[in-house]
Amino acid sequence: MNINTTVKSFFSYFGYDIKRVQRGWGDIFSIQKFLLESQDVKVIFDLGANVGRTVGRYKDIFPQATIFGFEPFIEPFSQMENTFQNVEKIRLYNMAVSNINSNINFFLNKANETNSLLPITKEWDKYFGEDIATQAGTVEVKTTTLDTFCKQAGVDKIQILKMDIQGAELMALEGAINLLANQSINLIYTEVMFAKFYENQASFYKIYELLEKHNFVLYGLYDLRFGKNGSLGQCDAIFLHRRIEEKLPIRF
């Protein structure tokens, strides 16, 4: 069974038919703009903003939106802060987003893009062979939940929630239960993992199950990344609230 057949078989279990997207569709950010073109995109949350590349992309595509960027590791956060220090409607926070309001250990690794609230495993090296799973210590960071933060900041709607938080995506969603229950999030763009790259990391199924329960549709999968043996390791996903998905024009 080849890779394409394996991926199609996996997602057919959930009732999805995997098809090749036509050329000219655009990049992942253009897709989000298309999906929300009927919406007034005022608020974007970027969890795991690192040095701010995606903050910059969102600013270019949605110039009128207020972007909240969260990055708990001080080195990339400082770089991001320096980049956007004079840019209006960008608010940056040196903290993690999780399912608790506390101060907890944040695990550092050889490649800072893999830093996480969860300890890394050797699956990284098994899949990608880059020797990046070497742990480099811990640092205490502040964490908040989205429900708490939004209540304190006076944010009642999030048009786009982007998450690249290395295995802690379900934890962040668990801390946003009130927002999800109140249909206050329109689109979720998140990294999802199929291999166990972090200890106690939630499976794709758990994330899918939680979002389906709150009336989200898995709209698409992007940038599929496979291991050395051909196994699917991780990819990016867009979940769209059903009330918006049902109004989309037919494209295929």
Better-scored residue on pLDDT, 182 or 132 = 182
Mean pLDDT of the chain: 88
**Confidence (pLDDT) at 4:** 52
What residue type is assigned to position 114 of the chain?
T
Judge whether residue 20 has pLDDT over 50. Answer: no
Residue 240 placed within a domain:
no
Average pLDDT over every residue of 173-190: 98
| β-pair type (66-70, 102-109) | unpaired
Confidence of residue 17 (pLDDT cuts 50, 70, 90): low
Instruction: Look at the chain and report how many structural domains it folds into.
Output: 1
Residue showing tokens 């400082």: 78
Residue 46 placed within a domain:
no
**Confidence (pLDDT) at 110:** 77
Query: Rg (Cα) of the chain, in Å, rounded?
Result: 18
Residue 32 placed within a domain:
no
Closest CA to 172 of 132, 118, 121: 118
Judge whether residue 2 has pLDDT over 50. Answer: no
Boundaries of domain holding 141? 68-187+199-218
Query: For the segment 220-246, what is each residue's pLDDT rounded down to a tens digit?
Result: 999 999 988 888 999 999 999 999 999
Better-scored residue on pLDDT, 163 or 167 = 163
**Among the ranges 88-92, 167-171, 247-251, which has the highest mean pLDDT value?**
88-92
**Confidence (pLDDT) at 136:** 78
Residue 50 placed within a domain:
no
Query: For the segment 91-123, what is each residue's pLDDT rounded down to a tens digit?
Result: 999 999 999 999 988 888 877 778 887 888 888
Average pLDDT over every residue of 67-81: 95
Query: For the segment 38-59, what is each residue's pLDDT rounded down to a tens digit?
Result: 999 999 999 999 999 999 999 9
Contact 70, 139 (CB under 8 A): no
Residue 33 placed within a domain:
no
Residue 23 placed within a domain:
no
Judge whether residue 16 has pLDDT over 80. Answer: no
Residue 39 placed within a domain:
no
Residue showing tokens 């999805």: 16
pTM, two decimal places: 0.89
Between vectors from CA 128 to CA 127 and to CA 134, what angle results, nearest 5°?
100
Residue 90 placed within a domain:
yes
